[in-house]
Amino acid sequence: MVDGKVRTDKTFPAGFMDVVSIPKTNENFCLLYDTKGRFCLHSIRDEEAKFKLCKVRSVQFGQNGIPYLNTYDGRTIQYPDPLIKVNDTIKLDLETNKIVGFIKFDVGNVVMLTGRRNTGQGKL
């Protein structure tokens, strides 16, 4: 399972911060980067496998002034909290696709760099 959905295609692409669950062995993993920029599996608990952290790429208004946001993995979510801005991180419930909470992009927060030579490390 990837992000709470059963995937039968063995070549289905999984990316950064995706939750990978193996029901037969009752294991859950999160895909992260190591310090050399390669994917590594980080073991997580069952409670952590029910949500996903997503970076907000844009916040816009659609038809009839309905607000929505786009995340780094291509998700579009309508009616977000008005306090959520670009570069913030949302905590997304994988079962309902609803925003449970969010983390502001501020100085002092721990971040994961995803590009260039410092991939897999960082603190803001």
Total domains, the chain? 1
Residue 72: which domain range?
Answer: 50-103
**3-class DSSP state for residue 119?**
coil
How many angstroms separate the first and last alpha carbons of the chain? Answer: 32
Residue 112 lies in a domain: no
Residue 24 lies in a domain: no
- Asked if residue 8 is part of any domain, the answer here is no
How many DSSP H helices and E strands does the chain contain?
Answer: 0, 8
pLDDT at 41: 93
CATH number at 98 reads 2.40.50.740
- Model pLDDT for residues 56-68, shown as the tens digit of each residue: 999 999 988 999 9
Residue 39 domain flag: no
Residue 5 lies in a domain: no
Phi, psi of 23 (to 5 degrees): -65, -35
Region 98-102 average pLDDT = 93
Q: Can you give the pLDDT at residue 57? A: 94
pLDDT per residue over 76-99, tens digit each? Answer: 999 888 899 999 999 999 999 999
Average pLDDT over residues 40-45: 93
Residue 81 · residue 99 · CB < 8 Å: yes
Q: Is residue 18 part of a domain?
A: no
Residue 60 lies in a domain: yes
**25, 9, 19: which is closest to 41 by C-alpha?**
19
Position 43 in a domain: no
What pLDDT was estimated at residue 124? Answer: 46
Confirm if 40 and 32 have CB atoms less than 8 A apart: yes
